[in-house]
Structure 1
Amino acid sequence: MRTPPIVTLPEWEAARERLLVREKEMTRARDALAAERRRMPWLPVEKDYSFETRNGEATLLDLFEGRRQLIVYRAFFEPGVFGWPDHACRGCSLVADQVAHPAHLNARDTTLAFVSRAPQSDIERLKTRMSWPVIPWHTITDDFDKDFNVDEWHGTNAFIRDGNQIYRTYFINNRGDEAMGSTWSYLDITALGRQEEWEDSPQDYPQTRPYEWWNWHDEYSDAEVSEGWLAKIAESGAITPASQPTPDKDKKDDAGQPGCRCSD
């Protein structure tokens, strides 16, 4: 293998700083792209769709679980897929392995769901074997996959609802799915985004201050923990009652968010 040059620490740091300029440009470009997604037109979903869930039959509206947004990944686990019946598609399994705890998405009024054509008994067996217990994973029973461009290949659809009316807001597939898994990557493809005040979003979109909604995934309902966290970030200087960080403040990082010091 032909390796890069071997250098001193100052030379290495100089090389990293040069590359960091381009990385920051990429971060800003990614934020700008997410802002464009939040301005995408919405496509009404006119058909009714039915799924089998671990709790019985459900509609697409039911999959929102009462939240405003829904992200649906079409995973291939069914007869005819390589690995059946012991495993799902290797690529889809890699995606599932990367998924962060859904509680963080839920805290942003967003539900994540996987859907496949395998029966629920097989899906539950697979989730147990592969240690994916927290991913809601449902069975497609109609033309949902065909209608949303995921009948022959994986893909991720984003939806939003206004009351009972559902709209399709975005879709990614192919290499776009490679980046999925983190809370941030999922939120960045939704119509409402991360819902933090530093974001460039249309007027009156729901937004809160950075950090204040973050919590441990098992304690989002614990008000005392949330109050303690607000006190901690105020103490760190990341957020103060009198000064709300914005994307043009010096203390922000290059994702647009203010710096955070969380250690004791």
Structure 2
Amino acid sequence: MNIQNHPVVSREEWLAARKQHLAHEKAFTKERDRLSAERRALPWVKIDKDYHFQGPDGELKLADLFGGRSQLVIYHFMFADGWDEGCPGCSFLSDHIDGANQHLAHHDVSVVAVSHAPFAQFQAFKRRMGWKFDWVSSEGCDFNYDFGVTARPEDVAAGRATYNYEKTYGSEEELPGLSVFYRNDTGEIFHTYSTYARGLDLLVGTYNYLDLTPKGRNEDEIMDWVRHHDRYEDKAPTSCCHGG
């Protein structure tokens, strides 16, 4: 719709249109609740592999990432070995984590970012961004490969790489995602959910604001306007690293 030629009506006509749209919003809310319940009812997979991570105090196991809670959300942050800074799209999403964590940490949920690069490589970038959330490295284990966010170069070259549960023909070896785990009272860990690409939109509060505005997201390609939050005064936009 051309925003410059948008229809302008009386308050009474606007109210009638708004009430009609409200009915659609309520239907969407009910469908979202149904979908969320279906997600929670998905079967689980028990984690038997001995994954290990590197944090500020040395090696960690997957169980350590729970921080004493029973639920763990891992954001698969795109940061590969040799990179100087993180993916702009992952950074955009990660700007929303600390605010949510003020509440999630008190509701039996831990949120941890995991990247494939060595731990030391992303510390300067984390400080630059001012983030407080836990961020660890999965260097040296199969975690990123097993959860579908890092592709081996030979698989990319041979066209065997997959992303978001289907074959991908892109050349990226690092991509974003989110995985959820549950730890029971006996210490067993289960993988309950993973999502990728536009399934991550729900975590980006900025998009929820934009979706309420007349211009909406106002982008030609997903996140084509997004920059690291300290780079918005730059003349040239940074490139986005993933789409849907």
TM-score using structure 2 length: 0.68
State the 1:11 CA deviation: 1.7
Percent identity, please.
Answer: 39
Please name the residue that 2:9 is paired with.
7
- Count of residues in correspondence between the two structures: 178
State the 1:157 CA deviation: 0.5
Look up the equivalent residue of 1:173 and give its one-letter code.
Answer: Y
Look up the equivalent residue of 2:131 and give its one-letter code.
Answer: W
Equivalent position to 1:63, from 62, 65, 70: 65
Equivalent position to 1:136, from 134, 137, 146: 134
Equivalent position to 1:96, from 94, 97, 100: 94
State the 1:114 CA deviation: 0.5
State the 1:78 CA deviation: 2.3
State the 1:97 CA deviation: 1.4
Q: Does residue 169 of the first structure (1) align with residue 169 of the second (2)?
A: no
Please name the residue that 1:227 is paired with.
none
Please name the residue that 1:54 is paired with.
56
Q: Does residue 159 of the first structure (1) align with residue 157 of the second (2)?
A: no
Please name the residue that 2:164 is paired with.
none
Look up the equivalent residue of 1:144 and give its one-letter code.
Answer: F
Superposed CA RMSD: 1.8
State the 1:10 CA deviation: 1.9
- Equivalents in 1 of 2:68, 2:88: separation in Å? 32
Native 8 Å contact 2:96 2:203 kept in 1: yes
Q: Please give the per-residue CA displacement for 1:90-117, whole angstroms capped at 9, x wherever unaligned.
A: 1111111122331311222110010112
Instruction: Give the gaps of 5 or more residues in structure 1.
Output: 186-264
Please name the residue that 1:72 is paired with.
74
- Equivalents in 1 of 2:62, 2:105: separation in Å? 17
- Equivalents in 2 of 1:7, 1:54: separation in Å? 59
State the 1:63 CA deviation: 0.3
State the 1:153 CA deviation: 1.9
Secondary structure in 1 matching 2:78:
coil
- Equivalents in 1 of 2:34, 2:109: separation in Å? 21
TM-score using structure 1 length: 0.64
Please name the residue that 1:256 is paired with.
none
Q: Please give the per-residue CA displacement for 1:200-240, whole angstroms capped at 9, x wherever unaligned.
A: xxxxxxxxxxxxxxxxxxxxxxxxxxxxxxxxxxxxxxxxx
Instruction: Give the gaps of 5 or more residues in structure 2.
Output: 151-173, 209-244
State the 1:181 CA deviation: 4.7
